[in-house]
Amino acid sequence: MQVECSYSIQTVLRELFGRHGSESSSLWDMLSDQCRNSLSMLRKSSFILHKPLQHLPTKRPIIECEQVKDFRSWLNLWYKITAAKIRHVKLKIFFGALEGLVNADIVFASFILPQLILQSIIEHNLTCMNEVSMEITAVLQKSIIDSGWPRSAAHLIFAVIDCLEQFTCHRRSLKIPTDMVLQRTLEILSNVTTQTTSDGNCLIVAAAGVCHCTTRALKWCEQYAIGCDEYGQTLFKPDQFSFLEKIYFDLGDMDGVAGAFETIRSCAEPTINDRILSLEADGNYWDALPLYKKSTNIEPSYTKCLLRLNEPRLALSGITDLLEKSESVEFQEKLRSCQLEAMWQLQLWDDLTDLLCKKPKTTTCGATYATIICTLRNQQFNLMDDYLVNARMRLADALTAMTIEDSDTYTQAYKTITQLHILSEIEDAKSSLNLENGEILAVEDLTKVLNVWQKRAAKAIQSASVLEPILNARRSLLSLLDGDIGRGSICDLFLQSCRLARHDGHLQVAWSYLIQAKDLHINQFEVEMEEARYLFQKVF
């Protein structure tokens, strides 16, 4: 790989400065001293690279070729095929010489590929242009159904689209009459941005959403999926505004959800799903619950709604029948995750252990915590470590995507960071709560753990959506302790959940937590005080 890089740099320098170093001396002088010192040896070198002749595949799109095994092989192959078709003699040599660097450095390859595509547009290379449109569409389609490396490929596609958009802005600023280069670039963008998924949503918006680029999805939804008329007025498209409402919901922008819903309501009749999303954005899960019965194909969402309402028994009772009726693998995976979470909340450890033997795919955070805590309880520490690694890798992928976007990264990453904290607390509990060696935990050691938890919770955003998953995991960990040492702390955590629900105005949810605290028959004074606050708020 080092030889390939050296050969690439040598060839590029030769093309830029000439074989004897007399050409383009002004360009050489513009480089820093450190850069000139690093490159000076390669200006005089004469590397000869011997490598077997590679027959480039003719199948398109490239992502479907047999030679493509992962992100790197796909990227390298796309670059080589496109570079081989460049017509400009010197640039063809230049791009060809960079193959070694492209093979060695994915970051550099991600930078140079959009420039290569722009050159094919400038040359009016119809073959390359058609293949670019085809490849972009194929990668985005594959990223929606494949959560592996195609989603990394989709991020490169996003960079290509960004480059094309910036290039159109530049060409427009030049104000060239009948700018055919601009027209060709706009044509490619139009071909890509008008593609739709099977359910009618804009393809690039849907792909950005599944790749954790929610702010990008919002931008493209407004720019391409909805769009404006010739007078600059926003066009009302019911399906796309429903999709916009969902994007705002995923962003946690409740004002955005309300705005999208009011726009739909002022121009058309909102669908059942529009109303459900609007109610859930406000936290009105009980009001949303009856609407689920009128909707179709959203049983997993209905089950999740019951779990948010702290009604795991109701959620679990309907899952078995639904699993028997459905043949869809994706549908069953979502229901299995809800089933794991419901069993965990009900502490049905034996049933949960039996279900984990079937190795179900976890699609929710609650299901992930359920599997890890269950293996901790069963002292299957190797399996627990495997679950932790897989969970952290999924969260790391999501964080990487958000960091690449660099758009409101902290706000978007907050929930993911919180989930990583929960995983750390579960892992630390193995030793801090003596769950690994089975020794009886001293009261002093428990107090230390509770103090750490309390400080961490105090610094988190004080909302039920953020704190409730944390409190739920902590109650579950304390329930694994032998004896009654953790009962008082579990009761306190139930009361904290009750206060959060009351603060958000969800009195029915608050009552369910209060009942669970009362059932522990401990901390009677605190429980009665919380019940008094609940009754006062209910009356007034």
| Mean pLDDT lowest among 411-415, 445-449, 517-521 | 411-415
Q: What average pLDDT does the segment 180-191 reach? A: 96
Task: Describe the crossing of helices 365-377 and 381-405 by its angle, rounded to 10 degrees.
Answer: 160
Judged against a pLDDT cut of 70, whether residue 20 lies above it is answered with no
Mean pLDDT of the chain: 88
Q: Which amino acid is at 160?
A: V
- Residue with tokens 């790197």, as numbered in its chain: 72
- For 468-480, write each residue's pLDDT tens digit: 999 999 999 999 9
**Helices 381-405 and 409-432: crossing angle, nearest 10°?**
160
The pLDDT value recorded for residue 215 is 87
Whether the pLDDT of residue 48 is over 90: the answer is no
- Summarised one tens digit per residue, pLDDT across range 343-399 is 999 999 999 999 999 888 888 899 999 999 999 999 999 999 999 999 998 888 778
Q: Binning pLDDT at 50, 70 and 90, where does residue 211 land?
A: confident
β partners of residue 202: 196
For residues 310 and 489, which has the higher predicted lDDT (pLDDT)?
489
Give residue-wise pLDDT tens across range 101-152.
888 888 888 889 999 999 999 999 999 999 999 999 999 999 999 878 898 8
Q: Domain extents for the chain?
A: 51-190, 195-282
The separation between CA 339 and the C-alpha centre of its own chain, rounded to angstroms, equals 23
Amino acid 361: pLDDT: 87
Residue type, 97: A
Mean per-residue pLDDT for 494-521?
Answer: 92
Q: In the structure encoding, which two tokens stand for residue 342, read together?
A: 């419901």
Query: Bridge-partner residues for 228, per DSSP?
Result: 234
The reported pLDDT for the residue numbered 47 is: 65
3-class DSSP state of 228 = strand
Residues 24-38, mean pLDDT to the nearest whole number: 80
> pLDDT-based confidence at 406, cuts 50/70/90?
low
Query: What's the pLDDT score for residue 251?
Result: 84
Round to whole Å and give the CA distance between 63 and 76: 11
Longest dimension (CA), the chain: 91
What is the reported pLDDT for 404? Answer: 64
Lowest mean pLDDT among 297-301, 342-346, 460-464, 521-525: 297-301
pLDDT of residue 152: 87
Q: What percent of the chain has pLDDT over 90?
A: 56
Sign of torsion, CA 259 265 270 276?
positive
Comparing 25 with 287, the larger pLDDT belongs to 287
